[in-house]
Every structure is written in structure tokens, then in C-alpha cells.
Structure 1
């Protein structure tokens, strides 16, 4: 599977701090679709150089992960990108504070992997459609906590609805998979994670950023269709296959091309 396929098909992206190399293998074994080794927010300034060296060493010694670099304009950004260029285990670069499609393309070209554009500001949201169409961008992601701070808004669902919907539309318009939702900071109540996932999935998100391994299975379960959904999809496709292409009704509902496409997607996801 290519890096692009891994990034575009991933449901779960599990963060691990870049200055904790003893956790890298544990994160990789936690069952997430992809790991993000973090050189940005999780690492204090005085540890950033050592963290970068540890991440590159792990990636060149068999490790495989995405890496969140420091934001453009920060003292560490250029060193991060230069160090990651050619790292054999690098799957993607997560670009924080993304608001410049040309920069995303440049980072992708230099590192030889796709970019996940992490939208965390009003400037980035206003250019979401451009970011999604950038050649090097494989996925959009939502940093809703920083976005709320930038807007001076609450980070609840109502305040963040416009931002989430904007990223979904931008992704779809550019032919990308649904975007990746931001983190759930509550770790001790699985119901909070489930509610966040249900909301994001309803809007069209197809992945989530995670901050603890215990969030992995709940995330995968949320994106796995229920038995009722699978039964419905099988009934729809069976009914369609029994016709010569004419109109068909299933449980009183008319089945057309969008319904058939949804049924096929349900069956595609059932064994993940």
C-alpha cells in the first residue's frame, strides 16, 4: 500500500510525543491505522532538536509513521522538513496551522510523501478549498481547539459546525476522502468519544485524531457499519441485482444511484 493510500484510507491517527522514543513502538502496536509522531505541541522548545533526531532515527530503523512538524515561520520548521526528507519510514507530513497551498506542495515535494493539512486558523479555513486541491495534500484535518482560540469562540459543536462543514465540502470538492476530526480530550468517559465520533461522522468526517491508545477501538467501531446497516445494504444490492436496471423499491423507499453507492460503501467498510 502506498503512503497516499494509507493516509486516505485511515480512520484513526494516534499521536505520540516526539521526545518519548520509548513510546514509539508501543504506539505503532496500539492498532491505530496510522501513528503521528509529534514534533510540535507535544515537545517543549528545549527538547525539539533531540526529539527530531530520535524520530528520524526510528523512522530509518524500521519505524513507520506520519510526523507533525513545527509550523511554518517557527524556528524549527525548516530543520524538521530537512531532517525528514528521505526518511524511509515516513508516511506523511502533518502540517500544522496550514493556510498556504504552495507551502504544502513544497513540503510534500521535499519529503517525498503526502501532506495532511491541519487547519487550525481562520486564514486556513478561508483557503480550505485551495488546500484540498493542492497536489501534495492527501487529506484535510481539523485542529478545532486552536481554531476556536483563533476565532475567540467556544470549541463546542455549535460554534465549530461551520468549520467542520467547510472542511467536508472542501474535501469533497477536491475529490479527497472525508476530513479527519480533531481530538477528544476526555479520556475516562468512552461516551464522550462516541458522541464526538457520531457527530463528526454525521457531518461527513471519515477519520479522527487520537491522543490515547484506548481511543482506537472506539473510533474504529464508530466507522464500522452496524449489523442493521449491513443488512439494509445487502437487501438494496440484492434488489438491484434482481432487476434489469429499472426502478426498484426497498422497504417502501425508491432506490437510485446515490442509494446504491451508499450501500456499496457500507459493505466496503463492514470488515475493517
Structure 2
């Protein structure tokens, strides 16, 4: 099964929006029990999961559930309800502690066993959205907890950092680079980038997706179905980049076959790291 790259949030307590997200062209819908749901609606949102996840599948979107943070008394009940209802992925917010992460993973495995679910078939996608989590990415026990990638929660992170509007873009760029570097150091797959907040800015969403890929992300979170088409377009490299990548790939393969490890293409050196970048662009175009 193709690994999801575009994730669309929707509150689980608003059936119309949740059903719309599951029917949208995202790779995965995230039915939210956390930030999008007010405190007095938390229980109702959790109770709604069974009916929502039982609806006939429209499109190919996988169905994830964002539970409340592991530090809250809501988390375990959320996790049980999500797994019992058939969630195909669990999104864990505010992941920043080795102890909490390990306890969550243990609970996840125990509940999967009790409910007859295969834990290997259900992705746990933690969101790094605190200063503590960001600086600890490379040290947290992701792989030991069955986690292969993380997402970056830029909105909550800015609030935790106390960053003002004037410096928000610079702070996000710094956090993005730390997230990618930390993920790589921890042996994780390319992370998922945070949301583009302007739901009417299609050109901006596409540009944001391209910028995320250039930094080293593998996908993006979204907050409205209208964002999915421009984000999807942003996953596909521009024609000029793809033409360069195919030229480099073919020339380097030919050079390798003749015993050469470095060549010149369009006046610039091409060795294995450059050739890998070309191959990644070609693969990205096929997966977009």
C-alpha cells in the first residue's frame, strides 16, 4: 500500500466535515479528537468514531484518528475507541518525551492484542509541536516504539515558542530544518510538514509544498479539502527539474556501466549524491 503523503484534518464531532475529509482526494483523513474539538464535545467526538469509520469508503483515503496527548486523561480512551472502530492510523500530538512515547506504544500494542488488530498495519504518526520535542527528535525512541516518521506541528510550536507574527516565517523555517535533520539522524523516513493556514491560497499551498520537499519533507498536513489539489500539484517536480533529473540519471547510469563514478552534465559535476537527488526527483514524480 502506498505510504500516505497528504493528510487532511477534520473534527470527529462534525459528521459532515469528517465524512467530507474521508471522501476527499487526500491520501489520509485525520478524524480529530484533539484541537479541533472543544472540551465539552470530546466524549461525543470519541463516540462518533465507530459510525464514521464504518461508512462505506469513497476514494482511496486512509482513515486516521488524532487522539489527545499522552499526558491527558483522555488519551487511553481515545486510543481504545479509535482502534476498536477500525482506525488505520493513530496521530499522537505533542510527542516530546521518551517515557510518554514508550508508555503510549505499550498501550497501543496491548490494545491491538485485545482487539485483534495487527499493530504493524496501523501507522503511529507522532506530531512534534513543542520546543522540547523539536530539540529531542534525534534522541527519542521512535524506532523502538514502532514509529517510522513524524509530522511537524508548526501552529502549536509557534505558540509554545512564544514567537511573534513578525518572526513566524523564520521560526518555522528553522524548525523545519531541525525536524528534517533530526528525523534523518534518528533513522526515520522523511517527515510530514505542517499546515498552510490560508485555505483560499491555492498558489501559496502549491509553493509551500514545493518548499517543504526542497527542505526534505515527504508530505504535508492540510486543514481544508480545497488545499489537496494544489498540494498534490506541488508534490510533482516542475518539468524543467524532471527533465534535468532524467538526463542526469541516464548519463550517470551509462557512466557507471563504463566504470566512471563522476561525470559532467550541463557543465556541472555529477557524482553519486547528485545522481541520488535525480533518482529521488524521478521517484517523486511517479508517487505524486
**TM-score when normalising by structure 1:** 0.89
Supply the distance in 2 between the matched residues of 1:225 and 1:131 (Cα, whole angstroms): 33
Q: What RMSD in Å do the two structures reach over aligned CA positions? A: 2.0
Q: How far has the Cα of 1:97 moved from its partner?
A: 1.0
Q: Which residue of 2 aligns with 1:96?
A: 93
Q: Which runs of 5+ in 1 are unaligned?
A: none
What whole-Å deviation, never above 9, does each CA across 1:114-140 have from its counterpart, x for those lacking one?
Answer: 211111112212321215444322321
Q: Which runs of 5+ in 2 are unaligned?
A: 113-118
Supply the distance in 2 between the matched residues of 1:126 and 1:107 (Cα, whole angstroms): 25
Q: How far has the Cα of 1:59 moved from its partner?
A: 2.2
What whole-Å deviation, never above 9, does each CA across 1:6-55 have from its counterpart, x for those lacking one?
Answer: 5xx32210001101223333222211111111011111122222211211
> 1:169-184 counterparts in 2 under 5 A?
169-184=181-196
Taking a change above 3 Å as real, the CA distance of residues 104 and 131 of structure 1, as seen in their structure-2 partners, is farther
What whole-Å deviation, never above 9, does each CA across 1:131-183 have from its counterpart, x for those lacking one?
Answer: 54443223211111111111111362212233221210121123322211111
Taking a change above 3 Å as real, the CA distance of residues 245 and 223 of structure 1, as seen in their structure-2 partners, is farther
Which of 117, 126, 129 in structure 1 is aligned with 2:135? 126
CA contact (8 A) 1:184 1:193 kept: yes
| 1:270 maps onto 2:280 in alignment | no
Q: Which residue of 1 aligns with 2:159?
A: 149
Q: Which residue of 1 aligns with 2:18?
A: 24
Taking a change above 3 Å as real, the CA distance of residues 31 and 86 of structure 1, as seen in their structure-2 partners, is same
Q: Which residue of 1 aligns with 2:80?
A: 82
CA contact (8 A) 1:97 1:119 kept: yes
| 1:106 maps onto 2:120 in alignment | no
| 1:115 maps onto 2:124 in alignment | yes
**TM-score when normalising by structure 2:** 0.84
Q: Which residue of 1 aligns with 2:115?
A: none
| 1:55 maps onto 2:49 in alignment | yes
Supply the distance in 2 between the matched residues of 1:133 and 1:78 (Cα, whole angstroms): 21
Aligned length: 265
CA contact (8 A) 1:139 1:179 kept: yes
Supply the distance in 2 between the matched residues of 1:84 and 1:218 (Cα, whole angstroms): 30
Decide which moves more: 192-201 or 229-238.
192-201
Supply the distance in 2 between the matched residues of 1:270 and 1:122 (Cα, whole angstroms): 34
